[in-house]
Homo-oligomer: A and B are copies of this chain.
Amino acid sequence: MEISQLGEFGLIDRLTKDLPTVNSSTIRSVGDDCAVLRNHDTDILVTTDLLLEGVHFDLTYVPLKHLGYKSAVVNFSDVYAMNGTPRQITVSLGISSRFTVEHIEELYSGIRLACNIYGVDLVGGDTTSSRQGLVISITCIGEAEASKVVTRSGARDTDLICVSGDLGAAYMGLQLLEREKIASAGQKDFRPDFGGKEYIVERQLKPEARKDIVAQLAKDGIVPTAMMDISDGLSSDLLHIAHDSNVGCRVYEDRIPIDYQTAVMAEELGMNVIMAALNGGEDYELLFTVPLHCHEKVKDMPGVKVIGHITKPELGCALVTPDGAEIPLRAQGWNPLAATSASDKG
């Protein structure tokens, strides 16, 4: 059977079904942003990402320092998405012969910068040659109070659905970078035109993990009922929460936060900006649900927007348009097992 028939999640389900665990420290296994290992009253969170040149990144327009930074930050984001704090990472690199020591130092400078900013220790890894291209595998270990870990499965009917920041910007940044790459083909001294679009380019090349939102929630005494980071796209990720929590949801189109530059870029390219926000992915914003009684607290929280609410499962998951029509949410985010280049995304 072709792997593309199953897709990433189908394949993982098939490979990991009936996977027994035997260690008492294994609290939560495959299927969330992180695995959860218990040690006394502290939970150890573990997450890992594999990034391959030509699939996940294109060095034509991604500077190595940015790539290092982003590779680390996307792992931190998974730990924050469990309401934890990232503490350590390991970095494994496969390096083909076209890379020099200086190239790898550049990549590492980005990883180290991310570690410095987020207070994470780089504690190990593996370094080897690669026959083709750059391979980056990062594992992040985090900590959380056992009682405060937030999974994808706790959303309940009437809970509010919240997102941090704005959506679709990283995806539109990717479209812009791809357009400039095509425009530059064969031209010497080509200067890409990012004027007025710096924000969406930055969102693609140098995303941040929402440590600030996790801190704000803690400060306000809010433990979300479910949370994850938006890496595959709002639709796909919200469907994960709905599935794992056995609930439905309604998301209001006019509540979805979209930056001005994202909208302008979509307009320029003749794309539907709502589709970009729903399915673009790589936002690394936090998507979380809170009980209805937290409404007063979250509605004024800086950088957080209430975009909808959880329903009973039989109502399914839908986007509500401004005229009240309901469109079923579909997982149209990135399928990493169908992708053959970063530009296939979406």
A interface, CB within 8 angstroms of B: 1-3, 5-6, 8, 11-12, 14-16, 19, 21-23, 25-26, 28-30, 34-35, 37, 39-40, 42, 44, 46-50, 52-56, 87-88, 90, 92-95, 97, 99-102, 104-105, 108, 112, 119-133, 135, 137, 139, 141, 143, 336-340
Tell me which residues across on chain B come within 8 A of A49, comparing CB atoms. 92, 126
CB proximity of A236 to chain B, nearest CB, Å: 15
List 30 A-B residue pairs with CB atoms under 8 Å apart, sorted by A's residue number.
Answer: A3-B129, A15-B104, A19-B121, A19-B122, A21-B121, A22-B121, A26-B88, A29-B122, A30-B122, A30-B123, A37-B88, A37-B141, A39-B44, A44-B141, A46-B124, A46-B139, A47-B124, A48-B90, A49-B126, A50-B126, A52-B94, A52-B129, A55-B94, A127-B337, A128-B336, A128-B339, A129-B336, A131-B132, A132-B133, A135-B137
- Indicate whether A30 sits within 8 Å of B128 (C-beta atoms), given known contacts A87-B37, A88-B37, A95-B337: no
Is A52 within 8 A of B123, CB to CB?
A: no
Q: Which of B34, B87, B125 contacts A26 (CB 8 A)?
A: B87
Is B1 within 8 A of A127, CB to CB?
A: no
Q: Which of B48, B112, B132, B141 contacts A19 (CB 8 A)?
A: B112
Number of copies: 2
Tell me which residues across on chain B come within 8 A of A101, comparing CB atoms. 1-3, 5-6, 11, 14
- Indicate whether A338 sits within 8 Å of B3 (C-beta atoms), given known contacts A39-B40, A87-B25: no
Closest 8 CB pairs of A and B: A35-B123, A137-B137, A50-B92, A128-B336, A21-B121, A1-B101, A35-B124, A139-B139
